[in-house]
Amino acid sequence: MQKASKFTIITLLLNSSLTIMVGAVIAPVLPSISKNLQFGFNSGLLVTLPSLGVILFSPIIGKLINKLGAFKLLMLGMLPYAFFGFIGVYLTNNYMLMLDRLFLGGACVAIQVSVTTLIAELFKGKERLKLIAWQGVAIELGGVIFLSLGGYLGEQKWSYPFYIYLIAILFFVFSWFTLPRTRLQQNVNDLTEIRKNSKDLFPIMLSSFFSMAIFFVCFISLPEYLLKKFNFSESSTGYLMSFISLIAVIVASQLVKISNYISSRNLVALGFLSFSLGYVLFATTSLSEIMYVGAIFIGIGFGFTIPILNHLTIEISTPLTRGKNLGYYSMMVFAGQFAATFIEFITNSEEINFLITSGIGIILSLVVYLLFIRTKNSIQHRV
């Protein structure tokens, strides 16, 4: 980590937390927000529409980062993030609100790709994995804080969680004074390596989509499920959902050590199996305490998938393809979040939907394991 000061690292991690904040701050109080903003569609769309915005804007961001550089793109993303996040509290027109959430997603992907690119430029090898793991920690720790804070503030008044988005202005100031502005020189002639990368990218993108889709089902379904089945308050819902993030924080913080003993493809496969077990417990228990046991497995699933897949995307990329590949990665991650919305259209029973999600996790654990075996480069090796 010789190339970056401690303040630079801290700023990168703080900015990383904004990516989960995009939906997490309002998730525990979705019913109240939907009611007060007179939102006539599925309330889960307010959490997942930013994900659709990421999908729409990712190709543009992937091209812009090569032209502007990571620092400039980050600066251009943070103030719109604060504006589009906060202004939603005043939008009672359904279509304006949905458009606002889409633009919030566009600002979010600019931040995510820029921060990850800066990490890729400043660190290599195990040091890079360590920072990617800590990025995962920061994201999930942000989930712990923002879910809890969003639930607490939402109990005071439904509109208060929207004010949390303004923290991006503070992070903008930190970034201006602590992050490097230099850009790495890129080798544009390595076409053979680019073709190899495109083949190895498929299992990573597939895994990224489904791991986030499976993970995000709990964000969509748990608020209503916990209220109906266990009579949880909004703050109690926020605490359980933040507990999932806390477990992911612990797992991600140990990834470097774990990767010395378990290969990357095995970690991803184990992550999908852990997701499956967590959703089985959610679907079958009648005890609120067991919900926390299920939350442990969901948190492990996230910790074993998303940070590893993020790292693998960087590892197989050249400087020329890094921005594009990270754009694809962001697209798949947030496409998974958006796809999670449709789980509620399968049946009206959350228990059945949880079991279906669990089954998908089991299938994916086998599929991605076999796909990773077929690749010939760094995916086969330990991270």
Is 1 within the bounds of a domain? no
Helices marked H in 285-349:
288-315, 319-340
Residue 75 lies in a domain: yes
Q: Residue 244's domain spans which residues?
A: 6-378
Residue 13 lies in a domain: yes
Quick one: pLDDT at residue 3?
A: 59
185 in a domain, yes or no?
yes
Which of 242, 116, 101 is closest to 162 using CA atoms?
101
| Residue 302 falls inside a structural domain | yes
Domain at 198, CATH number: 1.20.1250.20
CA atoms of 63 and 19, how far apart (whole Å)? 20
Indicate the pLDDT class of residue 185, thresholds 50, 70 and 90.
Answer: low
DSSP string for 174-225: HHHHHS--------TT-HHHHHHHHHHHHHHHHHHHHHHHHHHHHHHHHHHH
- Residue 377 · residue 203 · CB < 8 Å: no
- Sign (positive/negative) of CA torsion 286, 288, 292, 293? negative
Q: pLDDT-derived band of residue 105, with 50, 70 and 90 as boundaries? A: very high
**Pair 368, 268: CB distance under 8 Å:** yes
Above 80 in pLDDT, residue 147?
no
The reply to whether 220 falls in a domain is yes
Query: Does 383 map to a domain?
Result: no
Q: Is residue 263 included in any domain, yes or no?
A: yes
306/359 Cα distance (integer angstroms)? 19
If one counts the domains in the chain, the total is 1
Give the C-alpha separation, 330 to 51, whole Å: 9
Which has the closest alpha carbon to 283: 338, 225, 239? Answer: 225
Is the pLDDT at 96 greater than 60, yes or no?
yes
The token pair that represents 293 in the structure block: 């046991």
Is the pLDDT at 2 greater than 70? The verdict is no
Kindly report which listed range (9-23, 26-40, 109-123) carries the lowest average pLDDT score.
Answer: 26-40
Within 8 A by CB and 6+ apart from 289, the residues are none
- Give me the pLDDT at residue 152, please: 85
Q: Are 114 and 77 in contact (CB under 8 A)?
A: yes
